[in-house]
Amino acid sequence: MQLRGGNVVLRCGVLVIAWLVASCTHHDVAGPTVPVPSVVTLAVGEHVMLTPDRVELGFRRVDGDSRCPKSVQCIWVGKAGVQLWLLQATHPDSVFVGIGMEGEAPASAESLGYRITATKLDPYPQRPGPIPQPSYRVTLRIEKSGG
């Protein structure tokens, strides 16, 4: 009898866990919705839902930030790039977008029917040394590609 009671408790526990997992749908964790075309600023780890296609766009990290700090005189202005991710149903994709420096055209990448242009990366380095990933904010112009 003791074993049967234990099975009932176990089954109830499994049902409660299954209900909790089912109630945590993808929709509940989606970022804010953004119409396209749009300009959006994201911190590392943040994401938005592009409407009306329900494509998620997220800011993964900054790669290769070699921009010349303001406190240093450089012969080269440097460059930086951002890793973004896109997800549409079962079609994940990652893109790398370079950040254009002064006098350069902004860099773009195309994926899942969108053109994503990185127009600004903050903070700008003030002195030599790495900037912590959580400090970064990227400003993106999002448009449908091909039109």
Write down the pTM of the prediction. 0.73
Q: Give percent of the chain with pLDDT exceeding 90.
A: 35
Phi-psi region of 19 (alpha: psi -120 to 50; beta: other; left: phi over 0): alpha
pLDDT range class, residue 97, cuts 50, 70, 90:
low
Q: What is the pLDDT, as a whole number, of residue 100?
A: 56
Pick the CATH number of 31-144 from 1.20.1250, 2.50.20, 2.60.98, 2.40.50: 2.60.98
64 pLDDT exceeds 60? yes
88 pLDDT exceeds 60? yes
Give the start-to-end residue ranges of the domains of the chain.
Answer: 1-29, 31-144
88 three-state secondary structure = strand
Cβ contact 60:84 at 8 Å: yes
* 96 or 32: which leads in pLDDT: 32
Q: What is the pLDDT, as a whole number, of residue 79?
A: 85
Using DSSP bridges, classify how beta strands 80-88 and 55-63 pair: parallel, antiparallel or unpaired: antiparallel
